[in-house]
């Protein structure tokens, strides 16, 4: 149990730090020092969130003597959030690593994470249906979309010059959806001493952030179209 408490503390601290620093790379100059340095703080924080969530989820399912249906479903959500956040963060970094590519990309590691996210989303959604959990039933649709989009991006040649920029942005903001959703579902109710919240609140981060991603994409597409930029710059 001591190990579980340690990982829980790490999870809370890292998650809070990620929530605080995420917005800095969005509003600062892209590729600048603040953007890059704070971006790495965010990535490291999310790595800690993912690892701690995975540990706590596995412990709840396999080793908790007091586990219940509610605690097990909570554990599966933790594991799923761990996969969603790590897959999107990994994707957000790797598209920068291969931004000069001109053909399909089939690195096993880069296909593994979105593939796991895509497939596991159906299993988690099915599990949510069986136990009548709206959160586990519907939220995995986000994973289906993100995992499928990532696989499509890797398996096809780039269609635009600044493909990596938009994919990096969508990957990191997809990771943010996972972070804020986890906080909305579990963190905020505990801080506010609420026993439950309306299910629509669970999807509020997705509803809000998705249009932001679309809006930023449109903005930068117009910006880049005014001044041609060669790949890799």
Low-confidence ranges of the chain (pLDDT < 70): 1, 186-200, 202, 226-233
Asked if residue 232 is part of any domain, the answer here is: no
The pLDDT of residue 226? 65
The pLDDT of residue 233? 45
CA angle, 36 as apex, 96 and 25 as ends, to 5°?
100
Asked if residue 45 is part of any domain, the answer here is: yes
The pLDDT of residue 198? 63
Number of domains, the chain? 1
Asked if residue 233 is part of any domain, the answer here is: no
The pLDDT of residue 195? 57
Share above pLDDT 90 across residues of the chain, in percent, rounded to a whole number: 40
Q: Which domain holds residue 79?
A: 2-225
Asked if residue 230 is part of any domain, the answer here is: no
Asked if residue 204 is part of any domain, the answer here is: yes
Asked if residue 118 is part of any domain, the answer here is: yes
Asked if residue 32 is part of any domain, the answer here is: yes
As a whole number of angstroms, the distance between CA 13 and CA 233 comes to: 35
Asked if residue 206 is part of any domain, the answer here is: yes
The pLDDT of residue 232? 47
SS (H, E, C) 4-71: HHHHHHHHHHHHHHHHHHCHHHHHCCCCCHHHHHHHHHHHHHHHHHHHHHHHHHHHHHHCCCCCCHHH
Of 105, 85, 102, which Cα lies nearest the Cα of 151? 105
């Amino acid at each position: 149990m001591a190990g579980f408490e340690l990982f829980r503390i790490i999870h809370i601290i890292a998650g809070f730090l990620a929530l605080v620093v995420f917005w800095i790379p969005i509003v600062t100059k892209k590729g600048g020092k603040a953007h890059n340095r704070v971006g790495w703080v965010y990535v490291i924080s999310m790595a800690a969130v993912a690892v701690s969530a995975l540990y706590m989820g596995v412990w709840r399912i396999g080793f908790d003597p007091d586990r219940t249906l509610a605690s097990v479903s909570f554990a599966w959500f933790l594991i799923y959030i761990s996969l969603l956040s790590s897959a999107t963060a990994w994707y957000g970094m790797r598209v920068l690593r291969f931004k000069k590519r001109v053909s399909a990309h089939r690195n096993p590691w880069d296909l593994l994470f979105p593939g796991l996210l895509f497939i596991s989303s159906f299993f988690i959604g099915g599990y949510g249906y069986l136990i009548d959990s709206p959160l586990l039933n519907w939220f995995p649709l986000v994973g289906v979309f993100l995992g499928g989009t990532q696989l499509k991006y890797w398996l096809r040649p780039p269609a635009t010059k600044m493909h990596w920029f938009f994919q990096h942005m969508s990957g990191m903001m997809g990771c943010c959806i996972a972070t804020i959703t986890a906080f909305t579902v579990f963190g905020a109710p505990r801080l506010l001493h609420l026993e439950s919240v309306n299910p629509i609140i669970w999807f509020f981060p997705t509803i809000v952030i998705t249009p932001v991603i679309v809006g930023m994409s449109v903005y930068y597409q117009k910006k880049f179209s005014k001044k041609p930029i060669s790949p890799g710059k």
